[in-house]
Amino acid sequence: MSAGTEEVPAEDALTDDAFLGGRLQLLQPPRGHRAGHDAMLLAASAPEAARVVDLGAGVGAAGLAYAVRVPAAQVTLVEIVPELAGLALRNAARQSPDLSGRVRVVEADVATLGRPSGPPEPPARAADLVLMNPPFNDPARHRLSPHAGRALAHAIADADVATWLRAAERLLAPGGRLALIHRPEAIEALLEGLKGRFGAVTIRPVHPGPGAPAHRLLIGAVKGRRTPPAVLPGFVLAEDAGRPSAAAEQVLREGRAIGPD
């Protein structure tokens, strides 16, 4: 991933959005890639860990949501766009209680992490958990947004997700865990990228409603493990009437974790 330009609007143009029933407040630009359910689901799907790295953190949504849920976690937010990295730092400091004491922000390209020539933080082979919300849209299948920030946040080829998986492997300690969210269409590239690096892969489909095809996958994996993959029960966001499901309310409003099964 190469650096891009994201124009963050003036202070009075930023939106101040509540997540997790108001437990998390995020300043973010009104246009471009905006934090939503994906980041909250990713944070809720991850097991508790002490040393956590959030790759492609944007304004900090997933990593900060995780820090809210797991008070003992030390979280590093990695973001390539300087303006978004700055907002992530501000968002950490403006929570109640202030999270800046255990959340740090690193402005870096994911591809450089954990390499001798890369940034010193986060260090290689030190993380217990890596959260990953890689750009979703394969340019071969999706029309790119004309907005530079949205395109950077949303578009890499499915095959290029291996770059992010290699970075996660370099950052994780032996037996460390990976949690990621992606589109179902990318499952082949994801499994290929995990092969030989991660095992004990779990795949949880996320459905917008009852009977609807999955539109996201929550994937967990363990570095160095060779256990075969398993498909977990699906997570349904809304009931037939369009109201949030009980499970979605517990995760998205009450800030609970998504159980292991």
Determine the residue type at 21: G
User: Is the confidence at residue 218, as pLDDT, over 50?
Assistant: yes
Look at residue 11 in the predicted model and tell me its pLDDT: 64
User: Could you tell me the pLDDT band of residue 142, with boundaries at 50, 70 and 90?
Assistant: very low
Q: Is residue 43 part of a domain?
A: yes
Q: Which long-range contacts (CB under 8 A, 24 or more apart) does 93-97 make?
A: 94/25, 94/27, 95/24, 95/25, 95/64, 95/68
Look at residue 237 in the predicted model and tell me its pLDDT: 98
Choose between 142 and 129: higher pLDDT. Answer: 129
Look at residue 159 in the predicted model and tell me its pLDDT: 63
Burial of 13 (0-12, 13-18, 19+ CB in 10 A): exposed
In which domain, by residue range, is 141 found? 11-252
- Is-contact 233 241, C-beta < 8 A? no
Model pTM above 0.85: yes
User: Is the confidence at residue 140, as pLDDT, over 80?
Assistant: no
CA pair distance 94, 157, nearest whole angstrom: 35
Burial of 260 (0-12, 13-18, 19+ CB in 10 A): exposed
| CATH assignment at residue 21 | 3.40.50.150
Q: Any residues with CB less than 8 A from the CB of 254 and at least 6 apart, and which? A: 20, 21
Q: What is the pLDDT of residues 155-196, one digit of tens each?
A: 456 668 999 999 999 999 999 999 999 999 999 999 999 999
Counting the structural domains of the chain, the total is 1
CA pair distance 66, 105, nearest whole angstrom: 15
User: Could you tell me the pLDDT band of residue 135, with boundaries at 50, 70 and 90?
Assistant: confident
Q: Is residue 139 part of a domain?
A: yes
Residue found by looking up tokens 């890689």 in the block: 134
Q: Is residue 116 part of a domain?
A: yes
How far from 68 is each of 24, 98, 100, 102, 201, CA to CA, in Å?
7, 10, 12, 11, 26
Determine the residue type at 116: P
CA pair distance 47, 257, nearest whole angstrom: 8
Residue found by looking up tokens 């809304």 in the block: 238
Going by C-alpha positions, the residue among 17, 104, 103 that lies closest to residue 68 is: 103
Q: Is residue 109 part of a domain?
A: yes
3-class state of residue 157 by DSSP: coil
Q: Is residue 259 part of a domain?
A: no
User: Is the confidence at residue 82, as pLDDT, over 80?
Assistant: yes
User: Is the confidence at residue 249, as pLDDT, over 80?
Assistant: yes
Going by C-alpha positions, the residue among 60, 63, 25, 22 that lies closest to residue 44 is: 63
Q: Is residue 5 part of a domain?
A: no
Q: What is the mean pLDDT of residues 10-18?
A: 84
Percent of the chain exceeding pLDDT 90 equals 81
Q: What is the mean pLDDT of residues 27-43?
A: 93
Q: What is the mean pLDDT of residues 217-238?
A: 97
User: Could you tell me the pLDDT band of residue 32, with boundaries at 50, 70 and 90?
Assistant: confident
Residue 60 is encoded by which pair of tokens?
A: 């900090």
